[in-house]
Structure 1
Amino acid sequence: MEVADEGSTDLEAVSSEAESSDVAATAPADAKSAPENRATDGPFDSDEANPARPYVDLGGVKILPREGLQLRLEVEEGTQRVVAVGLDFAGSTLQVQAFAAPRSTGLWNDIRAQIRDQITGQGGTLVEQVGVFGPELVAEVPAPGPDGTPVLRLARFVGVDGPRWFLRGVIAGDAMQNEASRAAVEELFRSVVVVRGGSPMPPRDLIPLTIPKSSAAI
C-alpha cells in the first residue's frame, strides 16, 4: 500500500468536504457499491470501453494515457509478480488494483471494514465518508519519515464494484488538499478499464497484471 504524500495534513479538514457515511456503514457486507453512472462514466468493464481509445494494456487493467501521467508497476519482491499499478499525476499518486468478484455481490463494503481495522490496529486514524464513488475512507497512516522518525501521512481509499470485479484505488499527494488535483485524479480513476476475462477465479484474487510492450513513462 503506497501513500506518498510528504506534507503535513489535517484529517478533519479533509473529511469535512464530503458527506457522512452513516447509510454506507449499515449496508449489507455483500452489497455492490458503485456510482449509478459507472457503466457510462467509469471505471469501465472491458466490454464498456471505447475500442478506439489508445489504452496502455497491462493485462488486468488498461490505462488511458494523458500528458503528465507517469506509470509505475509495483512488483512483489518474493514472487516478482506485478501486484499494483502506480500512477503519478497532478502532483498526486494513485495506486490501483483489480480483483475478481462474484457476479451478483460486491466486495467493497467488507474490504473497507478490513482496511479500517488494519489502519486503526497500526495506530492510524480515519474517517469514513461518501464521495463521488460512494463510501470511502480518509486515513492518517503511520509511516517512516525521511529521517526514520514516524510521521502520519494522509491517504484516501476508494473502491468500485463492477461486473465480476472490484477496483480499489489509494490516493495521496496534492489531491488530498487541492480541489483541481482531486478532480483530475478522480477522473483518472474513472478512466481505468478492468479486464476480468472469462476464466474462473476465486473472489478476491488479484486479476493478473502484465508488463506493457510500450514504455512505462507516458
Structure 2
Amino acid sequence: MFGRRRHKDTPASVVEEAEPVPARESGPWDADEPHPERERVDLGGLRLPVDAGFEVQLNMAGDRIVGAVVLFQESALQVQAFAAPKKSGIWDDVRSELAEAVKSAGGTSEEQEGPFGAELAAQIPNGGAVQPVRYLGIDGPRWFLRAAISGRAALDAGVAATLENVVRDIVVVRGDEPMAPHEPIELRLPAEARQPGEQEGPGRRKSDLNPFERGPEIAEVR
C-alpha cells in the first residue's frame, strides 16, 4: 500500500516542481533576468535609466550612497533598493510603516491602485504647506525597490508617466552576499563621474560630478 501511494503521488510532485515561473513583462528588472538594453547610469546596486533633461542626485548616509533622486520638470523621483527575504516580499509591511510615519508627521495617507500595484498616496506637512507624495513599492527576487514621487508629478499624470517609466527600466543588482531583510543595497558613484586621483568626499564640487555632456547631472545630497 505504501509503495502504491508513493508511486501515485510522485508524478504530481514532479509536475508541481517543474512548473515554470512566469516571466515578468516589465521592470524594474533583476540583473540576472533578460531586460531591454538602454542607457543607464551604473550605480553598482542600481542601474538607473537616464535621459536628457534629467538631473540625478545621490542620497548619502554618512559616506555611503544609499539612494538616488531623479529631478525632472519640477518633480522628484527618489529610489532606494533593499534586501528582502528569498520567499516573501516586504512591501505590505513597508507600506504600513510608511503610513504610520506619515501619520506621526501630522500628514494623511490612503492606499490606491497604481501601475505597480498597491501604492500609498500621502499628504505631508512641509513648511506650512502640504506636499503630495506617492510611495511605490516593488518586490523582486531577494530585493525590494521603494520609490517616492513628489512635486508636480504627484498630481500631473503626464509628468508622472515619465518617472514611472524610469522605475520600469531600473535594473537592481542584488549580488550574492548575505544581507539582512530591509538592509539598504549599497550604491557607488559611477565610474564616469570619478576623476583619476579625485577624492570621493564632501569637498567635491557639484560640477565635478557631471560626466554627461547633455544628459543628467549627478550630485550628492546629504
TM bucket normalised to smaller:
0.7 to 0.9
Distance 1:64 1:38, change over 3 A: farther
- Equivalent residues in 2 for 1:141-180, closer than 5 Å: 141-144=124-127, 150-180=128-158
Gaps of 5+ in 1: 1-36, 145-149
Contact 1:91 1:181 in 2 (8 A): no
Matches of 2:97 and 2:85, distance apart in 1: 18
Q: Deviations over 1:113-166 (max 9, x none)?
A: 00001111111011111111111111111222xxxxx22111000000000100
What SS does the corresponding residue of 1:39 show, helix, strand or coil?
coil
Matches of 1:38 and 1:181, distance apart in 2: 29
Contact 2:131 2:151 in 1 (8 A): no
Distance 1:49 1:213, change over 3 A: farther
Q: Which amino acid aligns with 2:77?
A: L
RMSD: 1.8
Distance 1:178 1:115, change over 3 A: same
Q: 2:53 aligns with which of 60, 68, 85?
A: 68
Query: Which structure has more helix as a fraction of its residues?
Result: 2
Gaps of 5+ in 2: 1-21, 194-208, 211-215, 217-222
2:123 alignment partner in structure 1: 140
1:44 corresponds to 2:29: yes
Matches of 1:158 and 1:52, distance apart in 2: 24
Q: 2:43 aligns with which of 50, 58, 78?
A: 58
1:213 corresponds to 2:191: yes
Normalised to the residue count of structure 1, the TM-score between the two structures is 0.75
Distance 1:49 1:59, change over 3 A: farther
How many residues were matched structurally? 175
Q: Which amino acid aligns with 2:175?
A: G
Distance 1:38 1:194, change over 3 A: farther
Contact 1:90 1:185 in 2 (8 A): no
2:173 alignment partner in structure 1: 195
Distance 1:139 1:213, change over 3 A: same
What SS does the corresponding residue of 1:40 show, helix, strand or coil?
coil
Distance 1:110 1:154, change over 3 A: same
1:94 alignment partner in structure 2: 77
